[in-house]
């Protein structure tokens, strides 16, 4: 290899961003002159598109291929010389620093090899896996594109690609692979050599936050345990949501692969379901709050329905309600006459399935009042119809079909972005306090 490569190149080792692997410069240049020239063109094109394929393994700067006129020789050069590369600026770095960089690069490629063999050993030992292949091609069923995962295997009916996450795996590589395996109906499963709990690196976080906050580590220890149990065991690092809406310290435990939740649709594999737990906690917090505020809601409702019927002002109760609501962050107006009565009539009527606050004889008249009279509150009305299950009541009273026709029309107008239907949220805090049922489906 390397007939066309110079002997003492500036950039001796390259990182191939399409595979995440380190290559010697002579291997990349190859033995085919025509191919080398095509590569040279391709690298220039990639650089202009800011999608470099090869970077210097020492400093991660994108490179291009230079041809030396005498003797048909090629070498790589940094696309940007800013003095950070030890390959160029030998004089500026101490020998120790140069050695440390080289050592880190070498250590990482050595570790990569070792981890591949560990993962393969675990998969071979676990009878739940079949068709274990190291560095085999995975050719796309539709696109004809292919990838070469570090290790692949079949697990149940699922094809899994195991990729070792190294510090040099870039986000664009992660994203491309993820999409490839998703389209394939397979699962991309990232494996770390270590997960720095203290100072998490960006490349780790790219995977962690896109995997329901779970990460998996394979080490010699997990390999030995897998062989002993004949079951693929991994170290799982995960986070848990806390009651206050925060996130716990990272947890760590040895878990079997066969107990993980695998989701090829979202390309996630996890031991602890962070998202579900966060939703459960949010629901619990909301329910507790609902229960705590029930006496206030009931008191307001009793006062309001009496007030709406008799129009008498009970100043003492109103004063208490104002104080209690203010304590929950909801400001009531100074006088009851300043309340949004139409809105409250609509929502209390819908809640109880009978007319409250007006002289209408049928519930359907409330609906006709909202559209067009209070159409700025149509969003609350529709949420209330759903929350209090009044669809059937409306249908049974809509003998003429006029309401059904109105619904079809307002839906079309809303879809067209008609400004008349812009949701009025002036009283949102009050509505949330009095009618929490309307917001039960909201995400946390």
Q: Which stretch binds Zn ion (CB under 5 A): 85-93, 154-162, 197-205, 378-386?
A: 85-93
Regarding 364 and contact with Zn ion (CB under 5 A), the answer is no
Regarding 58 and contact with Zn ion (CB under 5 A), the answer is yes
How far is the C-alpha of 12 from the C-alpha of 56, rounded, in Å?
8
Regarding 193 and contact with Zn ion (CB under 5 A), the answer is no
- Nearer CB in complex with Zn ion: 14/434: 14
Q: Which two tokens stand for residue 184?
A: 């394939």
- Nearer CB in complex with Zn ion: 88/132: 88
Instruction: Name the minimum Å distance from CB 56 to Zn ion.
Output: 3
Instruction: Name the minimum Å distance from CB 93 to Zn ion.
Output: 11
- Nearer CB in complex with Zn ion: 87/187: 87
Please measure the distance between the N-terminal and C-terminal CA atoms of the chain and give it in whole angstroms: 59
Q: Which stretch binds Zn ion (CB under 5 A): 1-9, 83-91, 115-123, 144-152?
A: 83-91
- Nearer CB in complex with Zn ion: 85/115: 85
| Residues 6+ away with beta carbon under 8 Å from 115 | 150, 164, 191, 193, 218
Q: Which stretch binds Zn ion (CB under 5 A): 84-92, 150-158, 256-264, 390-398?
A: 84-92
**Interhelix angle for 274-292 vs 294-310, to 10°?**
50
- Nearer CB in complex with Zn ion: 25/375: 25
Q: Count the Cβ atoms, other than its own, within 10 Å of residue 420.
A: 11
Within 131-190, the residues that bind Zn ion by CB under 5 A are none
Backbone angles phi, psi at 370, to 5 degrees: -60, -45
Distances (CA, A) of 140 to 74, 154, 185, 196: 34, 16, 10, 34
> Which residue, among 117, 111, 172, has the nearest Cα to 150 in the 3D structure?
117
> Which residue, among 10, 32, 14, has the nearest Cα to 23 in the 3D structure?
14
Instruction: Name the minimum Å distance from CB 111 to Zn ion.
Output: 21
How far is the C-alpha of 147 from the C-alpha of 137, rounded, in Å?
6
Q: Which stretch binds Zn ion (CB under 5 A): 77-85, 160-168, 314-322, 367-375?
A: 77-85
Regarding 59 and contact with Zn ion (CB under 5 A), the answer is yes
Tell which one of 14, 15, 56, 293 touches Zn ion (CB under 5 A): 56
Q: Which stretch binds Zn ion (CB under 5 A): 36-44, 86-94, 175-183, 306-314?
A: 86-94
Instruction: Name the minimum Å distance from CB 18 to Zn ion.
Output: 19
74-78 LR contacts (CB < 8 Å, sep 24+): 74/4, 74/5, 74/6, 74/29, 74/36, 74/40, 75/5, 75/6, 75/9, 75/10, 75/11, 75/25, 76/9, 76/10, 76/11, 76/14, 76/25, 76/28, 77/10, 77/11, 78/10, 78/11
Regarding 14 and contact with Zn ion (CB under 5 A), the answer is no
Regarding 85 and contact with Zn ion (CB under 5 A), the answer is yes
Within 224-283, the residues that bind Zn ion by CB under 5 A are none
| Residues 6+ away with beta carbon under 8 Å from 58 | 11, 13, 85, 86, 87, 101, 102, 105
**Interhelix angle for 294-310 vs 315-327, to 10°?**
150
Instruction: Name the minimum Å distance from CB 85 to Zn ion.
Output: 3
Size of the site for Zn ion (CB under 5 A): 5
Regarding 293 and contact with Zn ion (CB under 5 A), the answer is no
Instruction: Name the minimum Å distance from CB 66 to Zn ion.
Output: 14
Tell which one of 87, 125, 160, 255 touches Zn ion (CB under 5 A): 87
Instruction: Name the minimum Å distance from CB 179 to Zn ion.
Output: 29
- Nearer CB in complex with Zn ion: 79/176: 79
- Nearer CB in complex with Zn ion: 79/305: 79
- Nearer CB in complex with Zn ion: 87/120: 87
How far is the C-alpha of 99 from the C-alpha of 86, rounded, in Å?
10
Instruction: Name the minimum Å distance from CB 165 to Zn ion.
Output: 22
Note the residues at the interface with Zn ion (CB under 5 A): 56, 58-59, 85, 87
């Amino acid at each position: 290899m390397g007939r066309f490569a110079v002997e003492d190149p500036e950039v001796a080792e390259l990182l191939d961003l399409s595979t995440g692997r380190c290559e010697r410069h002579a291997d990349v240049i190859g033995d085919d002159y025509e191919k080398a020239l095509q590569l040279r063109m391709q690298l220039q094109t990639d650089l202009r598109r800011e999608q470099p394929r090869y970077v210097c393994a020492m400093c991660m700067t994108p490179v291009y291929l230079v041809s030396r006129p005498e003797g048909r020789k090629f070498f790589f050069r940094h696309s940007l010389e800013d003095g950070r590369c030890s390959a160029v600026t030998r004089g500026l770095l101490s020998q120790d620093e140069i050695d440390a960089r080289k050592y880190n690069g070498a250590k990482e490629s050595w570790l990569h090899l070792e981890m591949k063999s560990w993962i393969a050993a675990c998969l071979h030992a676990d009878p739940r896996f079949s068709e274990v292949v190291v560095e085999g091609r995975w050719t796309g069923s539709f696109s004809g594109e292919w990838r070469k995962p570090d290790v692949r295997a079949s697990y149940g009916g699922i094809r899994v690609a195991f990729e070792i996450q190294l510090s040099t795996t870039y986000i664009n590589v992660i994203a491309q692979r993820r999409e490839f395996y998703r389209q394939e109906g397979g699962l991309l499963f990232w494996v770390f050599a270590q997960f720095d709990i203290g100072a998490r690196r960006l490349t780790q976080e790219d995977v962690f936050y896109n995997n329901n906050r779970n990460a998996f580590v394979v080490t010699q220890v997990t390999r030995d345990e897998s062989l002993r149990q004949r079951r693929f065991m991994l170290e799982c690092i995960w986070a848990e949501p806390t009651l206050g809406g925060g996130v716990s310290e990272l947890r760590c435990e040895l878990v079997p692969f066969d107990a993980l939740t695998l989701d090829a649709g979202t390309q996630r594999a996890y031991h602890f379901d962070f998202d579900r737990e966060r939703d459960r906690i949010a629901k619990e917090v909301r329910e507790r709050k609902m229960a705590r505020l029930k006496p206030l809601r009931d008191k307001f409702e009793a006062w309001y329905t009496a007030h709406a019927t008799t129009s008498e002002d009970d100043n003492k109760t109103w004063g208490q309600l104002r104080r209690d609501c203010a304590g929950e962050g909801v400001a009531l107006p100074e006088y009851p006459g300043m309340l949004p009565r139409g809105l409250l009539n609509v929502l209390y009527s819908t809640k109880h399935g009978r007319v409250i606050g007006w002289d209408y004889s049928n519930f359907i008249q409330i609906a006709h009042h909202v559209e067009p009279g209070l159409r700025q509150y149509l969003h609350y009305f529709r949420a209330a119809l759903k929350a209090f299950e009044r669809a059937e009541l409306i249908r049974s009273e809509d003998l003429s079909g006029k309401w059904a026709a109105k619904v079809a029309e307002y839906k079309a107008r809303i879809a067209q972005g008609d400004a008349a239907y812009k949701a009025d949220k002036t009283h949102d805090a009050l509505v949330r306090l009095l009618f929490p049922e309307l917001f039960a489906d909201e995400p946390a």
